[in-house]
């Protein structure tokens, strides 16, 4: 494990790079790709709050992403509220749903928890596509785009996503150093022992689930506006669930730097193979990379960095 402080030091150049990035006048394509990368950073970091710290591997976080996206899209269509304002409210909404779900599914352990979250994800997707009078069903929803030219609106999105990412990471950093953070780690290491030490494990787990869902829902809302079209299969994508898990494991579970590195590197690889091969073969290549990493760096990329540091 890298010490918190050195982890933050490693973070600084990254943040500087992301802040400096728009100053270089790069093609629109790269800005779009970088926004997507930042979004995955938010998603992987927020998944990691539950999955990495408490050890409850959720396969259903796309549910909160999709709920956030639909929340924002429906409010924009019916009330005309700007998604930039409604996205945090969408986060709160997702977080509330997670809190309620938590009463049920957090009683399950291991693979059973993963399966239960995956099926809730699927159920929500079906429900959203079935209540077509509200959600447009399988036709999806189109969102009104920003009234600026591509470059300006892209840079607005860029700063919005970057701000959310920084807030997410800051919140996780604060959690990390709090008793709440230690309680989560205690649950991951040994839930019964944590309970016997007087930690109210159910409250801690629900809180972690809700915080995790908040940022995922917020990102979902912002994403809906950014991409300007959503439909149930894309908003509740099962592939989404696997991606966040993979990014966190790829980088290193239960660290701040891990999901960040995982999200940046895996999204870049995925974007690269998608645009260079232009065929479904990119999926296969992604799979090969994934297996190689899990075989040779099972504790994530961060573990390699820290191993080198010790020597």
Binding of another protein by 122 (CB under 8 A): yes
Asked if 179 and 199 count as a contact pair (C-beta separation under 8 A), the reply is no
Backbone angles phi, psi at 62, to 5 degrees: -60, -25
Q: Least separation, in Å, of the C-beta of 262 and another protein?
A: 12
Among 14, 15, 92, 115, binds another protein (CB under 8 A): 115
Binding of another protein by 304 (CB under 8 A): no
Binding of another protein by 39 (CB under 8 A): no
Total residues at the site for another protein (CB under 8 A)? 41
Contact set for another protein, span 225-244 (CB under 8 A): 238, 242
Place of tokens 């490693």: 10
Binding of another protein by 129 (CB under 8 A): yes
Binding of another protein by 247 (CB under 8 A): no
Binding of another protein by 279 (CB under 8 A): yes
Place of tokens 């779009």: 32
Would you tell me the crossing angle of helices 110-130 and 62-78 to the nearest 10 degrees? 20
Q: Least separation, in Å, of the C-beta of 224 and another protein?
A: 23
Binding of another protein by 105 (CB under 8 A): yes
Instruction: Report the C-alpha gap between 260 and 15 in whole angstroms.
Output: 11
177-180 long-range contacts, CB within 8 A, separation 24+: 177/4, 180/204, 180/207
Asked if 54 and 184 count as a contact pair (C-beta separation under 8 A), the reply is yes
Q: Which two tokens stand for residue 55?
A: 């050890």
How many of the other CB atoms lie within 10 Å of CB of 254? 22
Among 295, 308, 310, 311, binds another protein (CB under 8 A): 295
Binding of another protein by 112 (CB under 8 A): yes
SS3 category, 220: helix
Nearer to another protein by Cβ, of 95 and 303: the residue is 303
Q: Least separation, in Å, of the C-beta of 279 and another protein?
A: 5
DSSP string, 233-246: HHHT-HHHHHHHHH
Nearer to another protein by Cβ, of 11 and 283: the residue is 283
Contact set for another protein, span 190-209 (CB under 8 A): none
Interface residues with another protein (CB under 8 A)?
57, 104-105, 107-112, 114-116, 118-120, 122-123, 126-127, 129-130, 238, 242, 245-246, 249, 279-288, 290-291, 294-295, 298
């Amino acid at each position: 494990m890298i010490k918190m402080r050195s982890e933050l030091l490693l973070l600084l150049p990254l943040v500087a790079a992301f802040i400096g990035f728009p100053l270089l006048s790069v093609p629109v394509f790269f800005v779009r790709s970088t926004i997507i990368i930042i979004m995955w950073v938010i998603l992987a970091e927020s998944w990691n709050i539950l999955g990495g710290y408490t050890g409850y591997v959720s396969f259903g976080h796309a549910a909160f992403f999709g709920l956030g996206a639909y929340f924002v899209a429906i409010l924009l269509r019916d009330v005309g509220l700007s998604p930039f304002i409604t996205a945090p409210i969408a986060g709160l909404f997702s977080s509330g749903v997670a809190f309620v779900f938590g009463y049920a599914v957090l009683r399950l352990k291991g693979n059973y928890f993963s399966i239960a979250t995956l099926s809730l994800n699927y159920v929500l997707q079906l429900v959203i596509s079935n209540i077509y009078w509200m959600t447009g069903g399988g036709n999806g929803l189109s969102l009104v785009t920003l009234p600026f030219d591509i470059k300006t609106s892209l840079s607005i999105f860029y700063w919005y996503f970057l701000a959310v990412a920084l807030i997410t990471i800051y919140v996780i950093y604060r959690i990390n150093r709090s008793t709440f953070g230690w309680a989560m780690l205690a649950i991951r290491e040994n839930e019964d022992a944590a309970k016997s030490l007087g930690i109210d494990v159910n409250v801690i787990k629900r809180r972690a689930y809700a915080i995790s869902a908040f940022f995922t829902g917020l990102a979902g809302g912002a994403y809906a506006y950014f991409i300007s079209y959503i439909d149930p299969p894309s908003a509740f994508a099962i592939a989404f669930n696997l991606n966040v898990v993979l990014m966190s494991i790829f980088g290193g579970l239960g660290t701040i730097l891990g999901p960040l590195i995982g999200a940046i590197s895996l999204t870049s690889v995925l974007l690269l193979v998608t645009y260079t091969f232009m065929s479904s073969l990119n999926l296969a290549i992604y799979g090969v990379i994934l297996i190689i990493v899990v075989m040779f760096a099972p504790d994530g990329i961060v573990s390699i960095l820290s191993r080198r540091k010790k020597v």
